[in-house]
Amino acid sequence: MFVMIGLSIAIGISCGVGVIGLIWLHRGNQGVNSFLPAEHLIGSYGVVDIPFADRHPGKVRVNIGDSVLNLRAFAYTSEQFELGDGAFVVAVEDNCVFVVSRDSLQSLAPIDCNGDDIDPLLRDLI
C-alpha cells in the first residue's frame, strides 16, 4: 500500500514537472509585462462610464490593443461629461487621465484647406 502511495506521488510530481517544462520550452525567453506606459494612453479614445466635470473625477473606459482599461478621469477643460460621451485622452498624471470631448478636440486643431497645419497625431482623428 505504501508503495502505491509513493508511486502515485512520484507520478504526480513527474507529470507536474513535465508540464512546467513544456510551458517553459514553449514560452522561451518571452517576458510578461503588464505595465502600460503613459505614452500608450495619450491620444486614445475612451467612453465615459461614470459622469464627471471639471474638478470632480469620473471613469473612462479605454481600449488599448487587447486590453480594456477603466481609468479615473478628469476634464482637461471646464467641460462636463455624461455617460456614454466620447473622450480623448490628452494627459496622464498619477494614475489619472485628463480628457477633452470630441467637439473640443476639433476646435483645438487648426485646419487649412490642405490639412497641412494639423498635428499628425490629430489628423486621423478629425
User: Cell for 16?
Assistant: 507536474
Euclidean distance between CA atoms 43 and 95, whole angstroms? 16
pLDDT at 7: 93
pLDDT at 112: 47
Are the C-beta atoms of 60 and 52 separated by less than 8 Å? no
pLDDT at 108: 57
Q: Which residue has the cell 474638478?
A: 55
Domain boundaries, the chain: 1-28, 42-123
CA distances from 86 to 15, 44, 82, 120 (A): 51, 11, 9, 21
Q: What does each of the 126 residues of the chain score in pLDDT, given as a tens digit?
A: 888 999 999 999 999 999 998 888 887 766 656 667 777 788 888 999 999 987 889 999 988 877 788 999 999 888 899 998 899 998 888 888 899 987 776 665 555 444 455 555 555 555
The third-level CATH classification (topology) of the domain covering 42-123 is OB fold (Dihydrolipoamide Acetyltransferase, E2P) (2.40.50)
The DSSP call for residue 110 is: -
Burial class from Cβ neighbours inside 10 Å (0-12, 13-18, 19+) for residue 44 reads middle
